[in-house]
């Protein structure tokens, strides 16, 4: 009886000690003190309001591939970019229940995330202003999309979804959806080179929002304390004119995280609840997202991404790599498309004109130890390649010791 009582008394401690996260390929680890963090631009969006919901209510081959990749890698903390937002969260419910919680061909065991965070974004939200300089505000199709606070054909298109195995402190989330671009010191204001004057008149410039979707600081409660998941999806630095308004916006959307991490008072850096200032100096974080900027290749202004990578609070670590990305980048190089970046570090394939580039990032803070990383991009001859083409981007993951 005494042995039985001792054994019963030890059960809570044993439960906490043997908590196991069984992760799929490319590697596995066990233990509560480790965290696998990932970002994945899923291309789960529709040009029609409610289109993603309807797709997920059926049998979406696209969504099954995305779910299969997630089941293989099995992140503890995951950002999905380009996942359409709806107020009722129906798309998120359907993806969890009908795809992640169902074993997929080529994937792993069913996967359930008990915690998630999603919120409105700027894409597709009408501004009522002529943001693209066309001479009219709004309209149908692309014209209306260009004049939304962030390009989109309906509110919520290209949204964001955070999935977590650990609790999320939703009451402490900071979002920067409404932050004005002009509030940022040294903001890159677009200029019409032909007229040599600002592209946006003053009354528009002072209203423009910086974030094309949103910037979120999502606090996650791990066994070793709070980890701030800093997520975003800056606009692509293309689809504009000689004024380079999207290139400048992309630069400053990335720079927002550098400002958020840097020391000093920042009375301009106010979230949607009115709280101003950056992240505490002792806070641990992971930056994640499709940042739409390669450090050396492509059309973007590279200074902001380079400054973020070199920030003293960002952990220096080996860049995630893949065999499939190297294979694709080298194929483009053989066809005459020369890039300067490492072929193995690319995260997406954007066709024969743009080639393969590194656009997706998972950047942990100092205070972590990196134990592994990768890009889920198998070589073409691999059986896993059958599930890796659900998006033009590939899932990027890092394993962290807390």
Listed residue (216, 173, 210, 181) closest to 81, CA to CA = 216
Listed residue (241, 228, 355) closest to 298, CA to CA = 355
* pLDDT tens across the length of the chain (402 residues): 333 333 333 333 333 332 222 223 343 434 467 899 999 999 999 999 999 999 999 999 999 999 999 999 999 999 999 999 999 999 999 999 999 999 999 999 999 999 999 999 999 999 999 999 999 999 889 999 999 999 999 999 999 999 999 999 999 999 999 999 999 999 999 999 999 999 999 999 999 999 999 999 999 999 889 999 999 999 999 999 999 999 999 999 999 999 999 999 999 999 999 999 999 999 999 999 999 999 999 999 999 999 999 999 999 999 999 999 999 999 999 999 999 999 999 999 999 999 999 999 999 999 999 999 999 999 999 999 999 999 999 999 999 998
What is the Cα 217 distance to its own chain's centre?
12
Sequence-distant (6+) residues with CB within 8 A of 387 are: 65, 68, 69, 72, 104, 105, 106, 107
Listed residue (163, 156, 154) closest to 83, CA to CA = 156
What is the Cα–Cα distance from 152 to 156, expressed in whole angstroms?
A: 8
Could you read off the pLDDT of 82-141 as tens digits, one per residue? 999 999 999 999 999 999 999 999 999 999 999 999 999 999 999 999 999 999 999 889
| CA-based R_g, the chain, Å | 22
Q: What's the pTM?
A: 0.92
Domain spans in the chain, listed from the N-terminal domain onward:
21-121+156-401
In the DSSP assignment, the letter for residue 168 is B
Consecutive H or E run containing 51: helix 51-57
How long a stretch of residues is the chain?
A: 402
Whether residue 103 contacts residue 312, with contact meaning beta carbons closer than 8 Å, is answered with no
Listed residue (320, 371, 319) closest to 33, CA to CA = 371
Report the sign of the C-alpha dihedral through residues 339, 345, 349, 350, in that order: negative
| Architecture per CATH, 21-121+156-401 | 4-Layer Sandwich (3.60)
Sequence-distant (6+) residues with CB within 8 A of 96 are: 112, 113, 116, 163
């Amino acid at each position: 009886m005494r042995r039985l009582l001792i054994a019963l008394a030890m059960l809570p401690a044993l439960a906490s000690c043997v908590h196991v996260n069984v992760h799929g390929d490319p590697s596995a680890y066990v233990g509560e003190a480790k965290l696998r963090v990932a970002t994945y631009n899923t291309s789960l969006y529709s040009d029609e309001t409610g289109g993603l919901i309807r797709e997920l209510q059926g049998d979406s081959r696209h969504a099954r591939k995305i779910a299969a990749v997630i089941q293989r890698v099995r992140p503890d903390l995951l950002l999905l970019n380009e996942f359409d937002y709806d107020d009722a969260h129906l798309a998120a419910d359907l993806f969890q229940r009908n795809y992640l919680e169902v074993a997929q061909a080529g994937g792993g065991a069913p996967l359930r995330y008990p915690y998630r965070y999603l919120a409105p974004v700027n894409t597709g939200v009408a501004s009522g202003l002529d943001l693209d300089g066309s001479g009219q505000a709004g309209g149908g199709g692309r014209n209306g999309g260009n004049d939304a606070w962030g390009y989109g054909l309906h509110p919520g298109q290209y949204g964001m979804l955070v999935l977590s195995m650990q609790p999320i402190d939703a009451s402490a989330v900071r979002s920067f959806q409404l932050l004005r671009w002009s509030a940022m010191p040294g903001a890159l204001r677009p200029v019409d080179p032909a007229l040599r004057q600002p592209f946006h008149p003053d009354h528009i410039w002072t209203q423009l929002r910086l974030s094309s979707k949103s910037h979120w600081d999502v606090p996650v409660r791990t066994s070793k304390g709070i980890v701030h998941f800093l997520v975003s999806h800056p606009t692509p630095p293309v689809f504009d004119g000689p004024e380079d308004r999207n290139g400048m916006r992309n630069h400053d959307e990335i720079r927002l995280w550098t400002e958020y991490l840097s020391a000093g008072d920042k009375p301009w850096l106010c979230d949607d609840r009115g709280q101003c200032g950056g992240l505490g100096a002792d806070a641990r974080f992971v930056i994640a997202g499709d940042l739409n900027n390669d450090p050396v290749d492509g059309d973007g202004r590279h200074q902001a991404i380079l400054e973020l990578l070199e920030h003293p609070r960002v952990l220096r670590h080996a860049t995630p790599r893949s065999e499939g990305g190297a294979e694709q980048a080298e194929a483009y190089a053989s066809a005459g498309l020369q890039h300067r970046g490492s072929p193995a570090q690319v995260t997406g394939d954007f066709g024969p004109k743009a080639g393969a580039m590194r656009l997706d990032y998972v950047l942990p803070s100092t205070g972590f130890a990196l134990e592994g990383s990768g890009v889920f991009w198998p070589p073409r001859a691999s059986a896993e390649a059958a599930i890796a083409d659900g998006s033009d981007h590939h899932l990027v993951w890092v394993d962290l010791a807390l």
